[in-house]
Structure 1
Amino acid sequence: MQLTKLPFFLPLIVSALAIAVPEADPGTRVTGSKEAAILQAKRNDLDKRQNCVPNGCKCNPVPQGQYCGWCSAVTNAGTGGSWSDVFECNPSGGCCRYGPRASCNNWPNFSPCG
């Protein structure tokens, strides 16, 4: 009878089926308030990136990145810009302004620069 071989192959079949079931994306599960706060902070960071406003600022040709106005990469803060603002500069000298950032406000210890 062929059913006598079933106990030998059953663990193999169960293992194969368990591997084939995908797990939920860990980023979609929010179980605690700490995880919810981290997820909200990530969303806020994305919102800030979407609010980079072109204001006529200018940068030296530098690698794409965020630069405080005090950095040598930023050559013109543009309309309404301040040296304590953070700017997004690109390799062609283009620029947009995110706005003020506390880490850019301290002249001797400003960051980021790239």
Structure 2
Amino acid sequence: MQLTKLVYVLPLFTAVLAVAVPEAEPGTRVTSNKLSALDKRGGEVEKRQCNPNGCKCANGAAGVYCGWCAGVLNPGTGGSWSDVFQCNGSGGCCRYGPRDSCASWQSFSPCG
């Protein structure tokens, strides 16, 4: 019967699937917050609160944006174009603060 071959193949499939799922590096904490990350020295960056600072976004541009993105119209008081902003659909926003991926106006991310 063909079912006897399954006994030999099943451990192979299990081993392949176990290798295909990457695990986090030891000492890192997995979080669901998009703005939580590791800094360049390997230490964890704390989750940041989004602070309203008078920044303005385009109407309908709901999402997380770097200041260089077209969705952010004004970085607000104390804000910088290299900061991360959370925009709502009606033009309001709040500022998370600086982010390495937003620092360069030539290659910034995220936009939306």
Q: Residue by residue, what CA displacement relative to the aligned partner does 1:21-65 show, whole Å, maximum 9, x if unpaired?
A: xxxxxxxxxxxx9465233x55783832xx100000000013421
One-letter code aligned to 2:28: A
Residues 61 and 71 in structure 2, CA contact (< 8 A), matched pair in contact too = no
What is the RMSD of the two structures over their aligned residues, measured on CA atoms? 2.5
Which residues of structure 2 form unaligned runs of 5+? 1-23, 37-45
SS at match of 2:102: helix
4+ residue segments displaced more than 2 Å: 33-36, 41-48
Question: Normalized against structure 2, the TM-score is what?
Answer: 0.62
What are the within-5 Å matches in structure 2 for residues 67-106 of structure 1?
Answer: 67-106=65-104
Identity %: 57
More helix by share: 1
Residues 61 and 91 in structure 2, CA contact (< 8 A), matched pair in contact too = no
Distance 1:36 1:64, change over 3 A: farther
The residue number in structure 2 matching 1:60 is 58
For the pair 1:47 / 2:39, whether they are aligned, the reply is no
Larger radius of gyration: 1
The residue number in structure 2 matching 1:3 is none
